[in-house]
A and B are shown apart, each in its own frame.
Chain A
Amino acid sequence: MRNPALWLDKTFALQEHTITHYAWVIVGIAAVVQMVGAAIRMVFGVLVEPLAETFNWSLGSIGIAYALMSIITAVSSPPAGYLSNRFGAKRTMTAGTVLFFIGMMWTAQVQQIWELYAAYGIIFGIAQATLLVPVVPAVASWFRRHLGLGTGLMLGSWSLGPAIAVQVMAVLFENIGWSESFMVTGIVGTAILLSILLFFKDTPEQAGRVAYGARSSDKPLITSGNIFVEFQSEFQGFVYKTNAFWNLINIHFLGCVGHAVILVGIIPLAMSKGLGPVNAAGVLTTISIVSIVTRFIAPVLSERYGSKIIMFFSFFGQGIGVFLLFTASSTWEFYLFAVVWAIPYGGEGTVFPVINRQYYGHSPMGANYGWQLLGAGLGMALGGLLPGLIFDITGGYAWAIALSAVFSLAGAAAILFLDPTNRQLIPDWPEVESDHVTTGTSSISNGGD
């Protein structure tokens, strides 16, 4: 190689990248929204014991709230995607923030078990969907190219939110009590979300800017007005007729069952093999940390080499990797599993925004992504149920591990039926004809940023 710098520049199109684009502000805001949305799910773990102690509720009856939240989040995802397409991501996420606040305040005040079901199960379930579903399609609209880089950075932060939230809540519980902790974090979390959403713009066109990666030959996309709504309906009609639309819901479901079994069952499994609580928890922490790397890398590679092949190896690796658990009995074997399995697991779910772009071009992604998260949510709920159920019957986790492998490998097989990603399945979303279009409040220019 005569000039490595030139080679790097050409290979990774470095000349197209800049850190001063507003798209990175959007990615930063989206990462915070993702952290809060994902944290809703994980703080439940620290809530169980105080509720059981305070109200003398059984663990099973408290657990129903978590199952209810998972199912409500799943079934709310397609409507959240529709709302995001129809009314914009910012409005939908603002509504989600209000629901988050109500859910936090109500959960802090619960006195009856039905209130927990309503506050945590239903309100938080809808809040989680309205925060998590719109944010990814909104980020996608800010990237004309290099979407993998944008979503990779955003989705890489997924693991951080729960990790931070659980630690913060645990410290607060210890010092000010569980009820006050929920009120404080509810107020602070809502204030943070509302503040950062002030800087959020649904599309670059709305902000009077150009999307990241846009070239001088690119024209702005149609993002508003009656014609936008009409096109959405027309395009979405074609999307529903593609095999990929239905298969991607199926694939997300299968992959999520596959890893939810492991994420829920790994600590009790490790403890049943003689690991102490700290070491067992460390296995899960290792999975979270290692997976951050592939959460970032997988979408970037997908954009470059095609999503189908990256998805296939992620699902296949996730399925094959769990076989290490059949023989794992010592601490190092569990940690080896955590590292080996986390690599494909991290790449399993983060490729979906990129494959949506490769199949459906620049058309609004909210509805498609919402349906895919329906599959994911139901998969997570089922996968979370299986380890406990199987342990109760068999007294071990071997069947659960086998089922995790079966679901992941079934997902890998389903990926083989997907269309090639090197051509779009429907025509691309229409562009605005002229370079300068008056939109009432600002002018969209297709020049530089």
Chain B
Amino acid sequence: MRKGSSEQSTTHVSPKLEGFEIKGRPLTGLGLLIASVVGTFAVLIYFGAWAVSDRMEKRVAATESSVAQIEAKWWEDSLLTVCPLH
């Protein structure tokens, strides 16, 4: 950034923004971005829940107890609750 450049402001060509407007909101762009975020969370939840059920099955096998007797951590419970497929 330069100091002492105030003379540029007096000689500039006025931008062609006068009268320029963008009507509407960027719904397509935002919609696609939100769809990607939702899709990514869905992937993470699905594989996260898969990993949790895998871990719990291994714990069941190791302790020779049932799934109901296994004490799940809060994040394991959360992932299994959120994922409709596990």
> Which residue numbers of A lie inside 8 Å of B, CB to CB?
86-88, 91, 202, 206, 219, 222-228, 231, 234-235, 238, 240-247, 249-250, 253-254, 257, 382, 386, 389-390, 392-393, 399, 403, 410, 414, 417, 425-434, 437-441
A91: which B residues are within 8 A, CB to CB?
1
Stretch at the interface among B26-34, B59-67, B68-76: B26-34
Per a CB cutoff under 8 Å, which of A202, A430, A441 touches B15?
A430
Bound Cα distance A226, B9 (Å): 8
B43 within 8 A of A: yes
Decide if A254 touches B28 in the complex (CB within 8 Å): no
B40 CB, min distance to chain A CBs, angstroms:
7
Contacts A225-B5, A246-B32, A390-B47 known; list 15 others, CB within 8 Å.
A206-B2, A222-B12, A225-B9, A226-B6, A231-B15, A238-B20, A247-B28, A399-B47, A414-B36, A417-B32, A427-B20, A430-B13, A439-B7, A439-B8, A440-B6
Per a CB cutoff under 8 Å, which of A399, A414, A437 touches B11?
A437
Decide if B43 touches A403 in the complex (CB within 8 Å): yes
Q: Can you list 6 A-B contacts with CB-CB less than 8 angstroms, sorted by A residue number?
A: A226-B9, A238-B20, A242-B26, A243-B27, A257-B40, A439-B4
A88: which B residues are within 8 A, CB to CB?
1
B77 within 8 A of A: no
Decide if A432 touches B28 in the complex (CB within 8 Å): no
Q: Report which residue of B11, B16, B27, B44 has the largest number of chain A beta carbons within 10 angstroms of its beta carbon.
A: B11
Bound Cα distance A190, B47 (Å): 42
Decide if A224 touches B22 in the complex (CB within 8 Å): no
Per a CB cutoff under 8 Å, which of B7, B26, B36 touches A253?
B36
A219: which B residues are within 8 A, CB to CB?
13
Bound Cα distance A254, B39 (Å): 11
A202 CB, min distance to chain B CBs, angstroms:
7
Which DSSP category, helix, strand, loop or mixed, fits chain B's interface?
helix
Asked if A224 meets B47 with Cβ closer than 8 Å, knowing A431-B13, A437-B8, A438-B7, the reply is no
B20: which A residues are within 8 A, CB to CB?
238, 426-427
B16 CB, min distance to chain A CBs, angstroms:
4
Residue-wise interface mask of B (30-52) relative to A, using a CB-CB cutoff of 8 A (1 in contact, 0 not): 10110010011001100110110
A224: which B residues are within 8 A, CB to CB?
1-2, 5, 8
Total A-B pairs, Cβ < 8 A = 131
Q: Report which residue of B22, B25, B48 has the largest number of chain A beta carbons within 10 angstroms of its beta carbon.
A: B22
Decide if A245 touches B29 in the complex (CB within 8 Å): yes
A404 CB, min distance to chain B CBs, angstroms:
12
Per a CB cutoff under 8 Å, which of A238, A386, A429, A434 touches B22?
A238
Decide if A242 touches B29 in the complex (CB within 8 Å): yes
Bound Cα distance A246, B32 (Å): 8
CB nearest neighbor in A for B44: A382
Decide if B1 touches A202 in the complex (CB within 8 Å): yes
Asked if A428 meets B5 with Cβ closer than 8 Å, knowing A245-B26, A250-B32, A417-B32, the reply is no
Bound Cα distance A241, B23 (Å): 9
Decide if B7 touches A437 in the complex (CB within 8 Å): yes
CB nearest neighbor in B for A439: B5
B48: which A residues are within 8 A, CB to CB?
389
CB nearest neighbor in A for B16: A427
Decide if B12 touches A432 in the complex (CB within 8 Å): yes
Bound Cα distance A247, B29 (Å): 4
CB nearest neighbor in B for A248: B29
B28 CB, min distance to chain A CBs, angstroms:
5
